[in-house]
Chains A and B, each alone.
Chain A
Amino acid sequence: MEHQRCYIYSPPEADERAAKRRRITQLNSPLVHFPERLQGYRDIWSQQEERIQNTLEEGDRSTLQNIANFVSAAAEPDCVEYLAIPTGLIIAGPSIASHGPFFDRLGRKIKEDANNAYLLLTSGEGPNLKTLLKNLIKKVASRIDEDDEENLGRPGTSSRNHPRLLDFDLGHLLGWQLKHQAQKIVVAIQDSEAFDAGVLVEMIDLFHSWLDRLPFVLLFGIATSAESFEDRLSGKALRHLEGRKFDVTQSDEIIEKLFSTTVASTNVPLRIGPNLSRRILERQRDHVQNLQDFSDGLKYAYMSHFYANCLSIFLIETLSFKDLASDVFEATRNLHSFRRWVEDMLESGRGHEVRKLLGSDQYLFENIVEHVRSGREVLSALSGAATVLAHVREALQMSPHVPLSSIWIRAASGEMIGSPILRETMLAIKKASSDKLMQLFASFEKVDETYLLFDPGKYQRDLEELVNANPNSAPLRSQHDVRNDSLRTTVVAQKVLLSKHKAALSEQDKAYSDLVGRFHDEINEYFSATFIDPRALFLSEILMFDLRSPHTEVFQPKPRFAIERSLASPHDYLGCDCCSPGGVRDREAPLSSSQPATAILYQLYLESGALINVSDLWSAFNAIAGDENEDEESKTMALFQCALAELKYLGLLKPSRKKNDHVAKMMWKGL
């Protein structure tokens, strides 16, 4: 079977029973309550997925609608003058990976709105005009009948009087159009930068000449800018186009939105922790810029949590004690957070409760349910506070702009209390003038008030009264406002002394300062009450998934490192006694004959220069791996050849013609 190219698997007959046995043993693996957990995962993830989907649609709904409107508003087919092709320039931004899904959504939107034909072309399909047209026609044809290209001539040549059309003749399209009467034929060029400019110009030319018969609308996806797109086209082609620009929401903005709805929102049953969030966001920023990847990362975190952590079963809300195995409680008692919690209880002299927790599963279960609920509340409050903080900063127009994601990450790692960002914000509140504060209160209306532990409306009403009572048009200022300070310069004994001086406050300003002071104190209290360290919570391991390990390896593998490591220190993988590195730690194992042949050869390879004499390599190999026994040489040679071939297969070696029996080194370890 191993040399067959493709086949359908069929199990070996004799192996039937062994396979069954294997299956049974694997069912006994430590997957306690796995089906329930799986169900829990599906429930919770489906909520998240829905949110993601909504956010995504929300994200470019207006853009999609605009483009769809543009398409339907484009020149009516019965219009007499065919001056130019209506063209949409879609500035989709540099994250190419998200272009595909965007154009798919766009296609669905355009097709559902009216009887439009939507034909998407990518650069691979249009190396030259002929191929481009062929592909275009094929896409239209695939709509009519799912037949091969041999039938493709039919639409155009249905009557025998006509000569048979070539398969790149737009006549086919005309035939199709006569039959289907599509309102518009929308041709979308997904990656316009990757097309040859000449092909685009020719295409525009050709489409323009058919515009009187075929109602074309062109859409260009542009990753750079409309100007650079314009520069690539000839003046004549540009005259044939009547363009309009559409900006697509950039992926980093959408990521931010996604983050705030899926992670930093107040009603999330399972949260991913600050470390993992940071990792995911960094990856987004530095490497992929891909919305799909973000949600995949999130999904995988959820999957890992529910798959690998059997305590995740407590996240299921409809859980009753009798459904649970006692293993689960035993595991809970081994949690770090459980120990901390219990120790705290002992210190405060609640020894009998602790005894009960240790002794009674039932009691523990009740406590767990209670704590999962309260823990969620605390985390939601924390997320709410992070949102409030972000809002405050935004309303006061503080710079630099700190996105909610980074505020949330800091808050969730318990670093918010006493952090510069919080102090700065509190200071800004103190100094805020009345107009800014008004905006701030107004913006609170958008915040989910469940977790807002104070009533901003009260302050808002007070402030309104003050402002209305203010005779001046100038906004009220608090005593901390810099503009109420003045610097006084005095020269004493030829030295300049600077002294700060508070301007006298008006009555209104005093009242305002008082209000600001009260507000400041209350919000400060609110923040210090909510910004706790979530990792100190009992059951934080269940409520928050913050392991970087499976995520990093699974999404950002280092295959080259893995291969180099396995060859340079095979002991790391094999764990055998014979090849252990001995006393030397953190060093590669010294060469020994017991290592696998390829590993030995690889380490010799590392020592040699850019050009390797195979004959010398063989002598070195033979000296290490070979036996004294001369008869064994053919065995050693076989191993040598095998190792050499494997290195070649891995791409580490290349034949060299510089000298006889020499090979060229291709990779340097760790490079």
Chain B
Amino acid sequence: MASAKRKRTDDEVETSTPRKLRTRAANEDEPDEEAVPEVSTPSRRTRGRQIVEDGTPKSILKKSGAFNGVSGTTPKSHRKLLFTTPSKSGKTETPNGLPTIVRNADRSARRKSNRKLLERTLNGADSDEEALDEEDTLAQQILSDEEEEDVQGQDAPDIGEQEDIQIPETPSKRARGRPKGSGRQRKQRSPTPPQDLPPYEEYFWQNRAGGNKTSNNTLSAQCLLNHDEYFQAMQCYEDHHNSEKEFLLELHSRAFNQWIFELEEGFNVCLYGYGSKRPITERFTAHLYDHLCGQSPYMGSKKTPKIVVINGYTSGTTMKEILNTVASIIIPPNTKTPNQLSSLLAFLLDRLSESPPSHPIPIILNSVDSPYLRKSPTPSMLASLAAHPFINLFCTADSPNFPLLWDVGLKAQFKFLFHDATTFAPYDAEIDVVETVNELLGRSGRRVGGRDGVGFVLRSLPENARSLFRILITEQLAVLLADDDDRGANGDGPTATPRNKRIVSTKNILPEATQGVEYRVLYHKAVEEFVCSSEVGFRTLLKEFHDHQMIESRKDAMGTERLWVPFRQEELEGLAEDLSGDSF
């Protein structure tokens, strides 16, 4: 019932104000004048609010009304001058540019209010509080409103009600003023607003629209270490947790006999947890070797047990190699084995069933979840290999979600027992740290040894190749500069209001689509400059670059191939300079 009543009062207010506004706007053609009544329709607003909320302190309401009422006739220039200085140092020069500011601000306010309305309908009233837009000179004009709202801001439903009334009344102004106040207040209070959210809430909070405000800082090129520097630094580094890590390892090795028992009982074992598990598998392999040596077929004989060790993380590990290694144990040499993978597997399994070895063949597999072993036939083949009673698979898994690799059927075949084997040991063999970081930051160009490396390669290439590389760099720079120009045109003027901010931020996303140079374009340029005469020649030149990892290529969403040199703008400029200069 209450809400219905409120609605009605809304309607009353609405029917009276908009018409007035429109007439006024029609009378006064100056844009900043138009803003005046919107800013301060004091009596009406206070009335409307008083109807709605009785609980709010009267004094503040009155104050705001009085304040606005006084200022209603005077131009805002006064207040602007008064208040702009503290908020933005750059605004000292603005007085003469006042009309544009106001116009722009107004325009953006309209847009914003529209957006706000949309957001509210989509997300509910709460989204107001998330509007984290910053400085706006006009906000200062309604400072009084803000103060008042800070008091009311404690009471969330009230805000909603106010919005309901006031947005239709003076849409642009009200919508702008309020969220600004609340948003800013919030921001000042705590830079990382919500604490101790449940994980899912945190996910949504961090993924909310416009929630990703990160600085534009970048790492300087010298900052990141290259391989030599990295290894040098790591060599001097002494981990003060060494004894604890050693103790962890010691703890895990107490379970060796248990694991052997489990393997003997026909289970396979999979270790997981943080840290490289190679130290464990190494020790376990040694332990298992000793254990087998003490068993019947090897005791006192010259024969030694055969344990297959596979490093899944090494690039290029294939099922074929794994099977061949297993085959080398169970099949006498010089026996012809099938070529095809599936028949080789079937052959091995048959062989194992028909003439079983004296004990199950242990396979130690480091990183069963490595990218090289994830592709389609490999997991299922591994599973059917592991399912054989005369194969003992002892493997480790690094990634947190590795069980997702296997469906129920494969899991049943693997017959895994899982053990937490957190070691905190560094992933020395598994990761190439420098390379990974460069890739992560899109700086794989550093792989060739940076600018100098590229120069070195180029010097060894024919003139044509250098020209092609120069064209590519110039084109790529041109694309980058074009982006920058767009940015400059919109964002450099004194009217850097939130609207432009947004454009800047979208511009930052843009390069993703336009990164690099289209293959066709590059080819035509190259032909024009007589670098090559045919596509074959062009390809040959590009291949050389590819081989030295000096360029990268990718198909974009439209399917067109794009090529680019994996360097930053500064480095590209430097390269272009080198190329055009006489250093070559």
Seen from chain A, the residues whose Cβ lies within 8 Å of a Cβ on chain B are 1-11, 15, 19-20, 22-23, 26, 29, 31, 38, 95-97, 99-100, 124, 138, 142, 146-149, 288-290, 292-293, 296, 299-300, 303, 307, 553-555, 557, 559-560, 562-564, 566-567, 570, 573-576, 578, 594, 596, 598, 607, 609-616, 618-619, 634-635, 637-639, 641-642, 644-646, 648-651, 653, 655, 657-663, 665, 667-671
A649 and B237 contacting across the interface, CB-CB below 8 Å: no
A657 and B515 within 8 A (CB): yes
Least CB separation from A9: chain B residue: B307
Q: Mark B409-424, 1 if CB is under 8 A from A, else 0.
A: 1011101011110101
User: Could you jot down 25 A-B contacts, CB within 8 Å?
Assistant: A15-B286, A22-B290, A23-B287, A96-B408, A100-B413, A288-B412, A559-B273, A559-B397, A559-B400, A562-B274, A566-B422, A570-B424, A575-B247, A598-B274, A612-B214, A613-B216, A619-B217, A641-B433, A641-B434, A641-B437, A642-B433, A657-B512, A660-B568, A661-B218, A670-B198
Shortest Cβ distance from B443 into A: residue: A661
Contacting residues, chain B, for A553 (C-beta < 8 A): 418-420
Stretch with Cβ within 8 A of A (4 or more), from B146-154, B311-319, B483-491: B311-319
B234 / chain A contacts, CB cutoff of 8 Å: 638, 642
Please give, as numbers and ranges, the residues of chain B lying within 8 Å of A97 by CB-CB distance: 408-409, 411-412
Q: Digit string of B224-262 for contact with A (CB within 8 Å is 1, else 0)? A: 110001101110110111001101100000101110011
Does B132 lie at the interface of the complex (its beta carbon under 8 Å from any beta carbon of A)? no
Is B400 a contact partner of A142 (Cβ separation < 8 A)?
no
- From residue A108, how far is it (CB to closest CB) to chain B in Å? 13
Is the C-beta of B462 less than 8 angstroms from some C-beta in chain A? no
B287 to chain A, nearest CB (A): 7
Does the CB pair B307–A650 fall under 8 Å?
no
Bound state CA distance, A146 and B345, in angstroms?
12
CB pair B433–A611 under 8 Å, yes or no, is no
B343 close to A645 (CB less than 8 A): no
For A564, the chain B residues whose CB sits under 8 A away are 400
Q: Quick check: A566 and B274 within 8 Å, CB to CB?
A: yes
Tell me the residues in window 376-418 of chain B with beta carbons closer than 8 Å to chain A beta carbons. 377, 380, 397-403, 407-409, 411-413, 415, 417-418
Beta-carbon contacts of B301-314 to A below 8 Å, as 1s and 0s?
00010111111001
> By the criterion CB–CB under 8 Å, are A9 and B309 in contact?
yes
Task: Enumerate chain A residues within 8 angstroms of B3, measured Cβ to Cβ.
Answer: none
Knowing that A290-B412, A594-B240, A644-B437 touch, tell me 7 more A-B residue pairs with CB under 8 angstroms.
A23-B291, A149-B339, A288-B412, A555-B417, A559-B273, A559-B400, A641-B437
Closest Cβ of chain A to B89, distance in Å, is 23
- Return chain A residues, CB-CB under 8 Å to B304: 10
A6 to B316, CA, bound (A): 11
Q: Which residue of A lies closest to B415 (CB)?
A: A296
Q: How far is the CB of A577 from chain B (nearest CB, A)?
A: 9
B237 close to A638 (CB less than 8 A): yes
CA distance A100 to B409 in the complex (A): 8
**Are the CB atoms of A645 and B436 closer together than 8 Å?**
yes
Q: How far is it, in angstroms, between the C-alpha of A610 and the C-alpha of B209 when the chains are bound?
A: 11
A23, A100, A668: the one within 8 Å of B290 (CB) = A23
Measured CA separation A619–B340 after assembly (Å): 53
1/0 contact trace for B258-280 toward A, CB 8 Å?
10011001010000111100100
Q: Which residue of A lies closest to B399 (CB)?
A: A651
Q: Within 8 Å of chain A (Cβ to Cβ): is B529? A: no
Q: Is B509 an interface residue (CB 8 A)?
A: yes
The 8 A-B residue pairs whose C-beta atoms are closest, nearest first, are: A638-B233, A560-B400, A557-B418, A670-B199, A645-B436, A2-B429, A9-B307, A559-B272
Contact string against A for B residues 139-157, beta-carbon threshold 8 Å, 1 for contact and 0 otherwise:
0000000000000000000
Is the Cβ of B214 less than 8 Å from the Cβ of A611? yes
Query: Please, how many angstroms separate the alpha-carbon atoms of A533 and B391 in the complex?
Result: 43
A188: min CB distance to chain B, Å:
16
> Given A11-B286, A554-B417, are A563 and B218 also a contact pair (CB < 8 Å)?
no
Q: Contact check, A637 vs B224: say whether CB atoms are below 8 A apart.
A: yes
Contact among B261, B403, B568 for A303, CB-based, below 8 A: B261
Residues in A neighbouring B241, C-beta threshold 8 A: 574, 576, 596
The CA-CA distance from A630 to B67 in the complex, in Å, is 55
In chain B, residues 285-338, which have Cβ atoms closer than 8 Å to a Cβ of chain A?
Answer: 285-287, 289-291, 294, 304, 306-311, 314, 316-317, 321-322, 324-325, 328-329, 336, 338
Which residues of the partner chain B approach A610 to less than 8 Å between Cβ atoms?
A: 206-207, 211-212
CB distance from B338 to the nearest CB of A (A): 5
A5 touches B424 (CB 8 A): no
Tell me, in angstroms, the Cα distance from A31 to B254 when the chains sit together.
Answer: 12
- Output the nearest chain B residue to A141 by Cβ-Cβ distance: B343
Chain A hits for B308, CB < 8 A: 6-9
Alpha-carbon gap, A667 to B200, bound state (A): 11
CA of A644 to CA of B432 in the docked complex: distance in angstroms?
Answer: 11
Interface centre among A564, A607, A649, A650 (most CB of B within 10 A): A649
Tell whether, in the assembled complex, residue A20 and residue B290 are in contact, meaning their CB atoms are under 8 Å apart: yes
Q: Which residue of A lies closest to B413 (CB)?
A: A100
Among A6, A299, A573, A598, the residue within 8 A (CB) of B309 is A6
A300 to B258, CA, bound (A): 12
| Total contacts A-B at CB 8 Å | 299
A307 / chain B contacts, CB cutoff of 8 Å = 258, 261
Task: Provide the bound-state CA to CA distance between A146 and B244, in Å.
Answer: 54
Q: In the complex the two chains form, what is the Cα distance from A616 to B216 in whole Å?
A: 9
Q: Which of A299, A562, A613, A662 contacts B265 (CB 8 A)?
A: A299
Let me know if B126 is at the binding interface, CB within 8 A: no
Also in contact, A669 and B199, with CB within 8 A (given A8-B306, A8-B308, A609-B214): yes
Contact between B237 and A635, CB atoms less than 8 A apart = yes
Closest chain-A Cβ to B491's Cβ sits at a distance in Å of: 16
**Chain A residue contacts of B408, Cβ below 8 A:** 95-97, 288-290
Q: Any chain A CB within 8 A of the CB of B449?
A: no
Contacts of A649 in B (CB 8 A): 398-399, 427, 430-431, 436
Asked if A637 and B192 make an inter-chain contact with CB atoms under 8 angstroms apart, the answer reads: no
Provide the residues of chain A in CB contact with B402, threshold 8 Å: 559
Of B265, B415, B440, the contact of A655 (CB 8 Å cutoff)? B440
Choose from B215, B230, B328 the contact partner of A613 (Cβ within 8 Å).
Answer: B215
Q: Are A657 and B306 in contact (CB under 8 A)?
A: no
Query: How many angstroms between the C-alpha atoms of A611 and B206 in the bound complex?
Result: 9
| Closest B residue to A138 using CB positions | B343
For residue B283, which residue of chain A has the nearest CB? A22
B537 beta carbon closer than 8 Å to chain A: no
A303 to B380, CA, bound (A): 28
- A557 with B321, Cβ < 8 A, contacts A563-B400, A646-B427 known: no
Q: How far is the CA of A650 from the CA of B397 in the complex (A)?
A: 10
A136 to chain B, nearest CB (A): 13
Residues of B within 8 A of A563 (CB): 272-274, 400, 422
B562 to chain A minimum Cβ distance, whole angstroms, is 12
Complex CA gap A186/B259 in Å reads 42
| Contact of A614 with B441 in the complex, beta carbons under 8 Å | yes
CB-based contact A6/B321 at 8 Å: yes
B511 near A651: Cβ-Cβ < 8 Å: no
User: Which of A97, A645, A671 has the most chain B CB atoms inside 10 A of its CB?
Assistant: A645
In contact, B311 and A4 (Cβ under 8 angstroms): yes
Name which residue of chain B comes closest to A101, CB basis: B412
Distance from A221 Cβ to chain B, minimum over Cβ atoms (Å):
12
Q: Which residues of A contact B417 (CB under 8 A)?
A: 300, 554-555
Kindly identify which residue among B199, B324, B343, B432 contacts A148, using a CB–CB cutoff of 8 Å.
B343
Name the distance in Å between A581's Cβ and chain B's nearest Cβ.
15
A17 to chain B, nearest CB (A): 12
Question: Would you call A645 and B431 a contact (CB within 8 A)?
Answer: yes
Please indicate the chain B residues that have their CB under 8 angstroms from the CB of A288 in the complex.
Answer: 408, 411-412
For B274, give the chain A residue with the smallest CB separation: A566
For A579, the closest partner residue in chain B by CB is B241
CB neighbours (8 Å) of A31 from chain B are 257
In B158-206, which residues have CB < 8 Å from any A CB?
A: 192, 198-200, 202-203, 206
Kindly list chain A residues whose C-beta atoms are within 8 Å of the C-beta of B50: none
Q: Are B401 and A560 in contact, with the CB atoms below 8 A?
A: yes
Tell me if B426 is interfacial: C-beta within 8 Å of chain A: yes
Complex alpha-carbon distance, A562 and B423, angstroms: 11
